[in-house]
Chains A and B, each alone.
Chain A
Amino acid sequence: MSPDPTDEPQSSPRYFAVTVPAEARYLRTIRAFFSPLLEELLGSAAGHLVLALDEACSNVVKYRAGTLDEKLIHVRVTLAAGRVVFRIGDFCHYSDIPRIRPRNLDEVRPGGLGTHFIEQIMDQVRFEPEPGPHGRMALVLEKGMPGEGAGDAAEAPGA
Chain B
Amino acid sequence: MPLKLQVLDTSHGRCLSVGGEVDMDSSPELRREMLKQLKGHSGLVIDLSGVGYIDSSGIAVLIEGHNEAHRGGGKLTLLRPSEAVTSVIDLAHLREFFSIQADEAS
Q: Which of B57, B60, B64, B87 has most chain A Cβ within 10 Å?
A: B57
Query: Is B35's beta carbon under 8 Å from chain A?
Result: no
Judge whether B60 and A110 touch: CB under 8 Å: yes
Total A-B Cβ pairs within 8 A = 59
Closest chain A CB from B86 CB (angstroms): 11
Contact of B55 among A55, A109, A110, A120 (CB under 8 A): A55
CB neighbours (8 Å) of A55 from chain B are 55-56
Query: Is A113's beta carbon under 8 Å from chain B?
Result: yes
Judge whether B24 and A113 touch: CB under 8 Å: no
Judge whether A47 and B61 touch: CB under 8 Å: no
Judge whether B53 and A27 touch: CB under 8 Å: no
Contact of A58 among B53, B57, B84 (CB under 8 A): B57
Judge whether B92 and A105 touch: CB under 8 Å: yes
CB neighbours (8 Å) of B23 from chain A are 24, 27-28, 31, 54, 58
Query: Is A134's beta carbon under 8 Å from chain B?
Result: no
Bound CA–CA A116/B56 (angstroms) = 9
- The residue in chain A whose Cβ has the minimal distance to the Cβ of B55 is A54
- The residue in chain B whose Cβ has the minimal distance to the Cβ of A23 is B25
Query: Is A18's beta carbon under 8 Å from chain B?
Result: no
Query: Is A141's beta carbon under 8 Å from chain B?
Result: no
When each residue 45-57 of chain B gets 1 if its CB lies under 8 Å from chain A and 0 otherwise, what string results? Answer: 0000000010111
Interface set, chain B 39-93, CB cutoff 8 A to A: 53, 55-57, 59-61, 63-64, 84, 87-88, 91-93
The DSSP consensus for interface residues of chain A is helix
CB neighbours (8 Å) of B21 from chain A are 28, 31
Bound CA–CA A55/B24 (angstroms) = 9
Bound CA–CA A109/B68 (angstroms) = 12
Task: Name the 8 nearest CB pairs between A and B, nearest first.
Answer: A110-B60, A113-B56, A24-B25, A114-B56, A58-B24, A24-B24, A110-B63, A110-B64
A residues adjacent to B (C-beta < 8 A): 24-25, 27-28, 31, 47-48, 50-51, 54-55, 58, 61-62, 105, 108-111, 113-114, 116-117, 120-121
29 contacts between A and B (CB under 8 A): A24-B24, A25-B25, A27-B25, A28-B23, A28-B25, A31-B53, A47-B87, A48-B91, A50-B53, A51-B91, A54-B23, A55-B55, A55-B56, A58-B56, A58-B57, A105-B92, A105-B93, A108-B94, A110-B61, A110-B64, A111-B60, A113-B56, A113-B59, A113-B60, A113-B92, A116-B92, A117-B56, A117-B88, A117-B92
